[in-house]
Amino acid sequence: MNCLVVDDDVLSVKAVEVCISKTPFLELAGSCYNAKDAINLIRETKVDLIFLDVEMPGTNGFEMLEQLKSIPQIILVTGKPEYAVEAFDYDVTDFLVKPFDFERFSKAATRAKHYHELSKDINTTDGTDN
CATH number of the domain at 92, please: 3.40.50.2300
Domain contains 72? yes
Q: Has residue 67 been placed in a domain? A: yes
Could you tell me how many residues make up the chain? 130
Read off φ and ψ for residue 88, nearest 5 degrees: -60, -30
Q: Which domain holds residue 69?
A: 2-125
| Number of domains the chain contains | 1
Predicted confidence (pLDDT) per residue in 88-119, tens digit: 899 999 999 999 999 999 999 999 999 999 87
Q: Which residue, 6, 25, 20, 24, is CA-closest to 113? A: 25
Q: What are the residue ranges in the chain where pLDDT is below 70?
A: 123-130
Instruction: Indicate the pTM of the whole model.
Output: 0.91
Q: Per the domain annotation, does 130 fall within a domain?
A: no
Q: Note whether residue 113 is domain-resident.
A: yes
Q: CA-to-CA distance for 26 and 50, rounded, in angstroms?
A: 11
Rounded to the nearest 10 degrees, the angle between the axes of helix 10-21 and helix 102-125 is 70
